[in-house]
Structure 1
Amino acid sequence: MASILSAHEIGEGLPVLIIHGWQMEGRVEELDFEPIFTKTPGLCRIYVDLPGMGTTPANNVKNMDDIYLRLVQFIDSRLGNSRFLVVGSSCGGYLARAIAQKYIEQVDGLLLRVPLIEPKDSMRDLDTFKPLVANEQLMSKISAEDRTLLGSVLVQTPAYLEALKAKYEGVYRPAEKAADNKVLDPIRADPHRYQLSFSLDTQNSKFFAPTLIVCGRQDESVGYRDSARLLELYPRSTYIVLDRGTHALPIDENGLFEALVRDWISRVDEWRGRTDKSEII
């Protein structure tokens, strides 16, 4: 039998299931969300590690369906019939949508950060990268190692470079090193294995609880235009595209990101306060 996912839980109260992106781990999500959630009492944050990532063994997962089913197993075991919230980043956002769809009667809120919409790379609507703030003199001074680590830098200022490097060295690179790439790489390389076998975009999949969708206008990985169609599927959604926002957001826009998340939590509280949701259409 497949093992239950490793998870780090913080706080008490309404469960919040937080799902990280591909080759990442729960600690990556903690970096950005804990400074916000620590100011919001009454939430039990559950940061999971997906199969083959973090401290969860791959246990022979073959495709995205297998990973999704491990999440379902974890939810059934840990949460049972409890109501809960779901947060997902990147590929975790793709899985979070599937979880919200399956547990629609239990999920009281959904937060999607730079969500993966098109699993097939060739189908993604992406812009060609171009730095917003170019500083060739600054970039020429960074080491070859840092240039490899950071890749294309959107905002080439000392403060942005420092924040970006801290995030890569603090959570991204350790997560990538911990990932079981012998298992994960074949899944990622195969468009059929990297997508769920069922659709998340049918009108029957509408989700009415408060939803926050945060995209980066300069997201070089999943873009932002593909996610616009989520507006029709999530009638209670706040949809925002952040300028200066890459797939790694937030880098230096923490105040705005925090305000958006706190607004989402307040809308969830309002939703949960309603005794009769049958009127909501």
Structure 2
Amino acid sequence: MEYQVKPNQTIYYEEYGEGKPLFILHGLCVDHHYMVDEFEQVLKNSCYRRIYLDLPGMGKSSSFIRPTSDEILNQVLQMIDDLSNHEEFYLAGHSYGAYLGLAIAYQRERLCKGLFANSPAVYADEKKRYLSRHHTIGGDISTINFNNNTKAFNEYFSTNVLIDQETWDKYEKEVLIGTNNCNFDFIHDLQHDGFKDYELSCERDLRMKKVSTPLLLVSGKEDNVVGWKDQMSLMDNWLNGSMILLSKAGHNLQMDQPEVYQDMIKDFFLNKLN
């Protein structure tokens, strides 16, 4: 389905189930496929109406000129307001999607009734991030059939912690399907000029202001993309926030620790928020 943001601007989304609206936002350069599998395994027969977006410039959603995170946020907020009828809603996000999720929960504090934030960026500027040292766990990589896709396999190997055929197959299914449809010129324009346009104008407020929205923040101890120590500092201001730090997990922690990850989704959305 497509949501019309502007006359020549659409956001693609897929919707499953009925009930309370839950908007699910993927990270940078991928698309909704990154999020669907784990959430559907847990919430398929739940009380939530699951809405998986392709963020602007990614997946099947339109791009626009001179992109900024503020404009992406405004477009997503417009969609959320319309599809939720300006009523209560829930959020989940990963990485950049969780960065936007923090801002949405802050700006719609009265209506947002819960945010599940997986490995959120806290600083848009990569130079400001306190990153973990990456290491891997696994057997002989020569046994993994990566279909001669050396570039993608190197990216997988540099981010994932658990290295085996199963996680590579999942990476192909959930990451590469999105990166193959990403407008990388759009991403370059978004991140150029010292990340000035990539940084949300409310980023400092997200670290400094008190927010009452229930939050579960999940990070991997080996996350070398956004880290985890910056995320811990958020807990002082999220009055109903909790953080879980997973060992043997990196930025793609749902691949490194899939069963634990699904248990956290289940506990947050089916127990704590009900």
- Cα deviation for residue 47 of structure 1 reads 0.5
Question: d(CA) in 2 for partners of 1:24 and 1:61?
Answer: 20
Contact 2:102–2:206 (8 Å) recurs in 1: no
The residue number in structure 2 matching 1:275 is none
The residue number in structure 1 matching 2:182 is 179
1:196 to 185, 194, 200: 200
| Residues 1:221 and 2:232 aligned together | no
Contact 1:210–1:264 (8 Å) recurs in 2: no
1:92 to 93, 97, 109: 97
2:37 to 25, 31, 35: 31
Question: d(CA) in 1 for partners of 2:187 and 2:161?
Answer: 31
Question: d(CA) in 1 for partners of 2:40 and 2:133?
Answer: 33
**Aligned 1:1-281 pairs, distance under 5 A:** 1=6, 3-39=9-45, 41-131=46-136, 133=137, 135=139, 138-142=140-144, 145=148, 147-151=150-154, 152=157, 155=161, 160-190=163-193, 191-198=195-202, 199-201=204-206, 203=208, 205-265=209-269, 266-269=271-274
SS at match of 2:236: helix
- Cα deviation for residue 69 of structure 1 reads 1.1
Contact 1:206–1:235 (8 Å) recurs in 2: yes
SS at match of 1:122: helix
Question: d(CA) in 2 for partners of 1:215 and 1:57?
Answer: 30
What amino acid maps onto 2:27 in structure 1?
A: G
Q: RMSD across aligned C-alpha pairs, in angstroms?
A: 2.0
Q: How many residues align?
A: 261
- Cα deviation for residue 75 of structure 1 reads 1.6
Contact 2:31–2:54 (8 Å) recurs in 1: yes
Aligned-pair identity (%):
25
User: Do the aligned partners of residues 12 and 143 (structure 1) sit closer, same or farther apart at CA in structure 2, a change above 3 Å counting?
Assistant: closer
Contact 1:16–1:87 (8 Å) recurs in 2: yes
Gaps spanning 5+ residues in structure 1: where? 270-281
Gaps spanning 5+ residues in structure 2: where? 1-5
- Cα deviation for residue 233 of structure 1 reads 1.8
More strand by share: 2
- Cα deviation for residue 60 of structure 1 reads 2.4
Question: d(CA) in 1 for partners of 2:207 and 2:165?
Answer: 42
Question: d(CA) in 2 for partners of 1:52 and 1:234?
Answer: 30
Question: d(CA) in 1 for partners of 2:244 and 2:220?
Answer: 8
Question: d(CA) in 2 for partners of 1:254 and 1:174?
Answer: 19
Question: d(CA) in 2 for partners of 1:188 and 1:262?
Answer: 34
TM-score normalised by structure 1 residue count: 0.86
User: Do the aligned partners of residues 116 and 155 (structure 1) sit closer, same or farther apart at CA in structure 2, a change above 3 Å counting?
Assistant: closer
What amino acid maps onto 1:12 in structure 2?
A: E
Contact 1:212–1:264 (8 Å) recurs in 2: yes
Contact 1:12–1:42 (8 Å) recurs in 2: yes
SS at match of 1:12: coil
SS at match of 1:45: strand
- Cα deviation for residue 148 of structure 1 reads 3.1
TM-score normalised by structure 2 residue count: 0.88
Q: Which has the larger radius of gyration?
A: 1
Contact 2:33–2:177 (8 Å) recurs in 1: no
Contact 1:26–1:47 (8 Å) recurs in 2: yes
What amino acid maps onto 2:141 in structure 1?
A: M
Question: d(CA) in 1 for partners of 2:218 and 2:90?
Answer: 16
